[in-house]
Structure 1
Amino acid sequence: MRAKLAALGGLAGFLGLALGAWMLAGDAPASGLLRPDDATLTERGRQVYLAHCAACHGAELQGQPDWRTRGADGSLPAPPHDASGHTWHHPDELLFRMTKYGVGQAAGLEGYESAMPAYEGLLDDEEIVAVLSWIKSQWPAEVRAMHDQVNARAQAVR
């Protein structure tokens, strides 16, 4: 059991490093991409979220039960996008890339399997920004402030 947990922890660390490296090396949109205070954009994002994301991530951003435990197929259930999840731990650029290209491609992990589809070709860039902006608009002020700090740190290393 400990070996399994250590392997999962190692994989999680590797994914974090790979995602961070890919984020810094690629064609990500500018930092501060999300606009949670833009009422028109966030309303559009809410509509797109309900149509394309809520089936897995929940209408209330609650995610799927036991979202930290891999299923029989090895994939993780959809995480929550509310303050209880880890979405706000990632800078805007990475959230954008994971949504547009999928986790595996965003991290540069060939063969990585995820139930999360890539939305490139289904949603345009502005729709992705709208969804992510709406998600951020739902977080409490203190979580939004912490996410702003995540973006500032990411921008500082760019």
Structure 2
Amino acid sequence: MRGLVAVFAIGGLAALGAAAYVWTGSAANVQSGVMPATVDLVAGKALYAETCAACHGANLEGQENWRSPGEDGRLPAPPHDETGHTWHHSDQVLFDYTKLGGREMMAAQGMEFDSGMPGFGDQLTDQEIWNILGYIKSTWPEEIQDMQAARTNGVPVN
């Protein structure tokens, strides 16, 4: 039975990853595009500490066993450093996932996914979300930043 659950979990992860990777549209009432040219990294770091670190770690390390569903069937919070998959997604996907939450963002794409990621659109302004994302991205090595930028710009990256 555990093997079957693992197969379904891996399949669900693959579907989520594929959907998030190829999706470039935006859900209703969500800013479209890429990160603004100007973000406040100091404010982003402070907002990350206040809003995100409880789940994603003070050092962007994520929760243990983040690739395996917990007892509730949900995936633990992934790391946002270069060891995680955050950099695999475009700016738009990261923004929408943060603003809408995982379940709502995926539902907007016609997919059902029980995500533990809440939406922060009622707590944070769009600029504050961009500031947080800018801070996260600023911690990545240059090569990772370049690959994420390519994905944001629609350039295939292996």
TM-score (norm 2): 0.83
Partner of 2:152 in structure 1? 151
Query: Aligned pair in 2 of structure 1 residues 152, 23: CA closer, same or farther (>3 Å)?
Result: closer
The structure, 1 or 2, with the larger RCO (C-alpha pairs under 8 Å, 6+ apart) is: 1
Aligned length: 152
Partner of 1:122 in structure 2? 123
Higher helix proportion: 1
The percent of aligned pairs where both chains have the same amino acid is: 37
Consecutive unaligned residues of structure 1, counting only runs of 5 or more, are none
Aligned-residue offset at 1:13? 3.0
Consecutive unaligned residues of structure 2, counting only runs of 5 or more, are none
CA contact (8 A) 2:98 2:119 kept: yes
Query: Aligned pair in 2 of structure 1 residues 65, 97: CA closer, same or farther (>3 Å)?
Result: same
Amino acid at match of 1:136: K
CA contact (8 A) 2:106 2:112 kept: no
CA contact (8 A) 1:23 1:106 kept: no
Partner of 2:69 in structure 1? 70
Question: Does residue 49 of structure 1 match 2:51?
Answer: no
Within a 5 Å distance, the mapping from 1:1-158 to structure 2 comes to: 3-19=4-20, 23-24=24-25, 26=27, 29-33=31-35, 35=37, 41-108=40-107, 112-153=113-154
Q: Secondary structure at the match of 1:129?
A: helix
Aligned-residue offset at 1:105? 1.2
Q: Matches of 2:115 and 2:6 in 1, distance apart?
A: 19
CA contact (8 A) 1:34 1:130 kept: no
Query: Aligned pair in 2 of structure 1 residues 153, 41: CA closer, same or farther (>3 Å)?
Result: same
Q: Secondary structure at the match of 2:148?
A: helix
In the TM superposition, what whole-angstrom CA distance separates every residue of 1:59-84 from its partner, at most 9, and x where no partner exists?
11000111111110011111000000
Q: Matches of 1:78 and 1:90 in 2, distance apart?
A: 16
